[in-house]
A and B are shown apart, each in its own frame.
Chain A
Amino acid sequence: MDAHSAKKANSILGNDPNDAVLEMSIQGGIYRFNSPTFVCVSGAPMKFTLNGIHGESNCMIPVQPNDEIEFSQASEGVYTYLAVKGGFKSSIRMGSRSMHPSLFGVSRLKEGDVIECTPIDTTPDKIVGRTSDVSLSSKMVVYPGPEFTCLKNPEQLGDLSLKVAGHNRMGIRVLPSTYLHRRHSTIKSSVVFPGIVQLTPSGELIVLHRDCQVTGGYPRVLLTDEKGLNQIAQIRQGSTIQFELTDLSNYFGE
């Protein structure tokens, strides 16, 4: 969900940016290692210990067989990542290691599950130092979407305090404090992708996220970019966010 943090953990370990990581949503867990490797924790701040000793995020940590990492809960934000050197070698379906429930039947780990990773017992040559923590800013840049004209008074969008009302991997629902429709409309089912913001007839905005559908019928009034997606992923349900409407040419870098 917060691809920036996941990629950061991979980069600190010298991994491919798209290597599989373990994503924890607010709640942590206990993980025992069966082989030596190096790990890195990134994303939403979450206290953790390695064999009972407090660990640091955003740095490379060596682990040995039978070592245990125990995570508590995220103190703020939503998604925390655990990366291992070389990436987790979970099974691949349709070209992806993503645990989408439609492909694997389950989308979360349970006690006793074992995930493969490549044993590494030599210190990697290049150790990348610590980098900055995840941004938990509540201001998110949005651009006009294909059905932008369905939005009423878009110039006032920046003044609205939007409440995050629902949070899952498909999309994040935000409730406006005012009526946003210029006119009631649904469109012919059209393509959508992570970053599209839909406006439902009941007036909710849905920021489509990483596991979103590929087509949808609610007007696609706004659009956010990769940075916006990473940012809103870390906003907790019940918190508020503000949209900053920007011209689409800024997205295209023109």
Chain B
Amino acid sequence: MGFKVRFHRISPEVLSIEFEETSSAELSYVAEQLESRFLSIQDVVFLNGVITLFSTELNQILDELSSFLDSVDETYESSFRTWYIPIWYNGLDLQFIAEKKRLSIDQIKQIHQKGEYTAIGYGFLPGFFYASGVPDSLDLPRRSSPRVRVPAQSVACAAAQMAIYPFETSGGWNILGTTPYQFFDPNKNPPVIIKAGDRLRFYEIDESHFKALQLIWETSSEREKILSHVC
């Protein structure tokens, strides 16, 4: 029963809790429990073995937090889905990755499609989820300076993680390609359909296929249905 944790107070209103050997699905479960148990917590972010809490009343809840984490029930039920995601390999960094890793672009595509990735948590921007499982042969650090504009739905990797940019933004990851689908809808609850623990696999489409799928997506009134076929 309970988790081994270390507390790191970052600011008067921000506390990071570092967990020992906890899976992303467990972390997601504990984050949910904390949010419903402590009403004074304004926000919770979980990623890479750390849950961070935002609260203006941290001092008042510190003791209670410790005893809650000591006694929280670790058993929970969950089921995970596998998502098959189309990708057009048109990424701005394909050539850069090829040069750095001494691979051909075809080899990059093959390695990327062979991999199975696991969603490990949300972060960065609304609808952005991190996935682990990037093979060493594709792994590169983040760009030395972030790009001012990364196109929406870019599939990118950096520092052993994979992600899909939910909309156009600045960002420092290496871009492999683009998917025609969006996985974030602020009008839905939850707004992101992929959850921690879900698996992701990618399959290649060409430009014309991409444009066709994008058109279907943009004009469809049943986007959820399309996404469920992705699965």
**A204–B123 contact, CB under 8 A?**
no
Chain A residues contacting B54 (CB-CB under 8 Å) are: 193
**Please, which residues of chain B bring their CB within 8 A of the CB of A86?**
none
* B1: Cβ under 8 A from any A Cβ: no
Question: Are A215's CB and B45's CB within 8 A?
Answer: yes
C-alpha spacing A202/B48, complex, angstroms = 25
In the complex, what's the smallest C-beta–C-beta distance from A213 to chain B, in angstroms?
4
Q: Residue on B with the closest CB to A105?
A: B167
The interface residues of chain B lying within 8 Å CB-to-CB of A201 are 141-142, 144-145
Interface residues of A in 175-231 (CB under 8 A from B): 186, 188-191, 193, 195, 200-202, 204, 213-218, 223, 225
Cβ-defined contact, B124 with A200, below 8 A: no
**8 A Cβ contacts from B102-145 to A:** 122-128, 130, 141-142, 144-145
Is the Cβ of A214 less than 8 Å from the Cβ of B124? yes
Interface contact B8-A146, CB-CB below 8 Å: yes
A101 to B124 Cα, complex, angstroms: 15
Query: Is the C-beta of B22 less than 8 angstroms from some C-beta in chain A?
Result: no
Stretch from B11-19, B84-92, B193-201 that touches the partner: B11-19
Contact code string B142-176 (vs A, CB < 8 Å = 1, else 0): 10111010000000001101000011011010000
Which residues of chain A in 46-103 are interfacial with respect to chain B, using CB atoms and an 8 Å cutoff? 93-94, 100-103
Q: How far is the CA of A118 from the CA of B167 in the complex (A)?
A: 33
Q: How far is the CB of A166 from chain B (nearest CB, A)?
A: 8
The reply to whether the CB of A117 lies closer than 8 angstroms to some CB of chain B is: no
Q: Cβ of A94 and Cβ of B124 under 8 Å apart? A: no
Chain B residues with Cβ under 8 A from A251's Cβ?
A: 11-12
Contact A190 B47 (CB under 8 A): yes
Q: Is the CB of B145 within 8 A of A214?
A: no
Closest to A94 in B: B186
